[in-house]
Structure 1
Amino acid sequence: MTKLISIAAIAENNAIGKDNTLMWHLPDDFKHFKKTTSGHYIIMGRKTFESFPKPLPNRTHVIITRQKDYQTNDSHIVVDSLEKAINAVPTQEEKAYIIGGGEIYKEAMEKIDELEITRVHADFDDAETFFPKISDQKWQVIKEEFHAKDEKHDYAFTYQTFKRV
């Protein structure tokens, strides 16, 4: 059975983006995301897919859209629901990652097994997109790794892995 994991960088106030882009630039988090998701299926909404300059290498893209006849230039899987996206992942796959956006994260919250969160230690009040609240009653942090602000990172952040309680 495939383990379903949401992976996201989120601010202290759960902000994740504005104008279909992240509100911060954290090179080490990009490397962490690449290392974590490489070789796996990634499930995302159409707007998240379109926010990439090009498809992410070494990952199978599953794109959810309500647009009929949505086409991509590559051999991605395009479906019209989260349920179909999950079913598109072969059962022998160890892991599949939900990578956004806000509505997909919200819809997937009750279906996922694990959260891989990069907690950005700042608030972004002008954000338009937010990650769902992570309930202490439903989720427990099992691993944390702090990264201080430095010359390449304008914000301190912490990698957190959550398991469902």
Structure 2
Amino acid sequence: MEIAIIVAVDQNNAIGRGGDQLAYISGDLKRFKQLTTGHAIVMGRKTFEALPKGALPNRRNIVVSRNKTLQLPGCEVVQSAEEAIALCNANEKIFVIGGGEIYNLFLPMADTIYFTHIHYAFEGSDTWFPEIDSTVWKDIQVDNKMQDEKSGMLYHYQTVKRVNAQK
């Protein structure tokens, strides 16, 4: 089983503000869909609530929540990271899609992180991605800078793999 994290961060490692992501970059949204379609996605309740149309199609939606009675259409609801993993098959790829608390829970178990680095520092951010240890994670791909057609924001992709077993 592979556990991957997919996250967009700004220059300060911020990932959110007011319960939503910091920016909507067309190319990043297409990449997210391409990478996660056909796989399990794991998110927290707040991330689920920020999705404009609810559960994402063509993916197994798993929501981690402390609320034992929570039911969400198109989702499997669990109370822990371990329960989320136990739901999945050994050959299934899991993408952890946020938010901050969920990233913190899954980072010690993750094999791969797919970053979108936004070349901008957003004001008023209230959620951050945890710092990663460069002795544990190594680059396997770093793309050139791109510019979003709508917002004009510069960004690039980076994929890192765990090289030292901390799991």
Aligned residue for 2:143, secondary structure, equals strand
Q: Could you say which residue in structure 2 is the equivalent of 1:8?
A: 7
Please tell me the residue identity of whatever aligns with 2:161. K
For 1:23-62, list aligned pairs within 5 A.
Answer: 23-54=22-53, 55-62=55-62
Q: Structure 1 residue 141 and structure 2 residue 131: aligned?
A: no
| Residue 137 of structure 1: how far off its partner (Å) | 1.4
Q: Could you say which residue in structure 2 is the equivalent of 1:18?
A: 17
Is the Cα contact below 8 Å between 2:27 and 2:148 reproduced in 1?
A: no
CA pair 141-153 structure 1, distance change in 2 beyond 3 A? farther
Aligned length: 162
| Residue 151 of structure 1: how far off its partner (Å) | 3.1
Q: Structure 1 residue 65 and structure 2 residue 46: aligned?
A: no
For 1:119-138, list aligned pairs within 5 A.
Answer: 119-138=117-136
| Residue 24 of structure 1: how far off its partner (Å) | 1.3
Segments of 4+ moved more than 2 angstroms: 146-154
What is the distance in 2 between the residues matched to 1:37 and 1:132?
A: 22
| Residue 72 of structure 1: how far off its partner (Å) | 1.3
What is the distance in 1 between the residues matched to 2:151 and 2:31?
A: 14
TM-score by length of 2: 0.92
Structure 2, unmatched stretches of 5+, are: none
TM-score by length of 1: 0.93
Is the Cα contact below 8 Å between 2:10 and 2:120 reproduced in 1?
A: yes
Please tell me the residue identity of whatever aligns with 1:32. R
Q: CA RMSD in A?
A: 1.2
| Residue 148 of structure 1: how far off its partner (Å) | 2.5
Q: Deviations over 1:7-40 (max 9, x none)?
A: 0011111100111111112010000000000000
Q: Could you say which residue in structure 2 is the equivalent of 1:92?
A: 91
| Residue 90 of structure 1: how far off its partner (Å) | 1.3
Is the Cα contact below 8 Å between 2:26 and 2:148 reproduced in 1?
A: no
Structure 1, unmatched stretches of 5+, are: none
What is the distance in 2 between the residues matched to 1:49 and 1:5?
A: 18
Is the Cα contact below 8 Å between 1:44 and 1:64 reproduced in 2?
A: yes
